[in-house]
Chains A and B, each alone.
Chain A
Amino acid sequence: MIAELQSSIGHDVFMGLAQAAGAIALCAAVVALCRWQAVRVEREAAVSMARGLVQMVFVGMVLALLLHGSLLIGSLILLMMTAAAAFTAARRLKGMEGAHLLCFWAIAAGGGTVIAAMLATRSLRPDISMLVPVGSMIIANAMNACAQAVERLRAEIAAHVGQIEAGLALGAEPDVTVQPYLRSAVYASLLPRLDMLKSLGLVWIPGVMAGMMVSGASPVYAGIYQFIIVAMILAASGITALVATVLMRARVLSGGPVDASPERRWRRALSSPYKADLPSRLLFVRFLRTIAIL
């Protein structure tokens, strides 16, 4: 392991450190300019730069080790990333019992399905040096989609408790009363990814394509591969947002003491005894029906 690390520290690392020193010097000059105008950021800038450099050197060392790791280690790393992503996304559902698990299943479903599809179609080599970076991109986007979808659904339900209860009071099935807000939440979470796909090549050339071209791949193939990655990001985000919102809807209408937030209306929507209304508790059937409705 030490030998692998040593072999990764070559001449280019020292050159990189020299270039980093240049970047730090430029930042220090800007800090001095700020001080001239009585803007005091010396301490924060120094701490931020030191942290940034140390963290990136550490990540580089970890990646140097990973390049020689097994596929199992790669899969475990993706699993850990999924858990960390779930933890981050679940912060949008503060107070909801089981929010971490809900986000974990949603991100795992989106990321897992897409990564498995890419491996099956050979768009992704079962090689740790490719699996981890591409997988992390997909998981990170699934995390964002999950957070945006649950946040939006929560806000929509809190803002429309009256309409939801009016629908229930008229004898509507609970799923029907929440459906417009679920649709809006899924759409809102997909919008940034749709824009990303639309602007591909016109507004931005993503890092994967640039990296492939630098390492000698055909620019056309690099472009096509980049499209595949962004399309897969969209697919992962879609699955994640659907699973997250359907799981959340089941909780919203389950009648259990799910949310302990101080927002009374939101809690009321969560705690009403709608459980008895649900003819089917089979999540898979509800999931398919939601897709059909959407």
Chain B
Amino acid sequence: MLVEDISIAVAAGEILAVVGPSGAGKSSFLRLLNRLDEPTAGTVLLEGQDYRSIAPRELRRRIGMVMQTAYLFPGGVAANIAFGPKQRGQTLTAAQIASLLERVGLPGFESRDVGNLSGGEAQRVALARTLANLPEVLLLDEPTSALDEASVHGIEELVSGIVQERQMAGVIVTHDRAQAARMAHRTMLIETGRLVAIGPTNEVLHDR
């Protein structure tokens, strides 16, 4: 069992950090939230609705995820951003793409090839690509672990601002307690797949 006996709620506009040692089950927990992995027991309620009653593709649109690595698709930045809506038969306008890129701090990057982006730029494009789906929940799996310090702070500010702005529920997995302190309203600590503590970030991090 990777994760067991965890029951939590995250409110709109709130960021919850998931911290714990390597192998504690942080990423496994996150993957259960958008059904990239299937729980053997228990469930997730999205605005009160059992997520098994929502079609997985629609569920994953509503629960966006940014991974540790950007995993951009080969080609241009604009095509990557348009990918999500395109899966539902929707076409993003050039203005919508430009607006998303501007919001993540990459104005004018539409025609760039993803192969020519730095790590920080790629992660910003991955964030814009997720936001293009208009998710209600934003899951972040160590989104800055592969970035340099300057990029880390940029992404942190960006994510915090967007979660507030769009009133999304945010869950960030991080091994960096200082990052949890900078970004999260509440923090949950898990060890060997079990919930050890949850509460306001300062209290949880101070007590442990």
Contact = CB atoms under 8 A, between A and B. Distances in A.
Contacts, number: 64
Interface string B59-82: 011001101010111000000000
Contact of B71 (A162, A172, A173, A274): A162
A169 B36 contact: yes
B84 interface: yes
A272 B129 CA distance: 23
A171 B73 contact: no
B34 interface: yes
A170 B84 contact: yes
Interface string A154-184: 0000000011011111111100100000000
A272 B37 contact: yes
A166 B60 contact: no
A233 B69 CA distance: 42
Interface in B16-47: 34-38
Contacts of A255: 38
B157 interface: no
B36 A167 contact: no
A163 B56 CA distance: 18
Contact of B36 (A172, A173, A272, A276): A272
Contacts of B58: 171
Interface string B123-145: 00010011001000000000000
Interface string B94-119: 00000000000000000000000000
A127 interface: no
A169 B60 contact: yes
Interface residues of A, number: 19
B93 interface: no
A143 B65 CA distance: 41
A172 B35 contact: no
Contacts of B35: 273, 276
Interface of A: 162-163, 165-173, 176, 255, 268, 272-274, 276-277
Interface of B: 34-38, 55-58, 60-61, 64-65, 67, 69, 71-73, 83-84, 87-88, 126, 129-130, 133
22 contacts: A162-B67, A162-B71, A165-B67, A166-B72, A167-B73, A169-B34, A169-B36, A169-B64, A169-B130, A170-B60, A170-B84, A170-B130, A170-B133, A171-B57, A171-B133, A172-B57, A255-B38, A268-B37, A273-B35, A273-B37, A273-B56, A276-B55
Given A171-B60, A171-B88, A268-B37, 12 more contacts: A165-B36, A166-B71, A169-B64, A170-B129, A171-B57, A171-B61, A172-B84, A173-B57, A272-B38, A273-B56, A276-B35, A276-B55
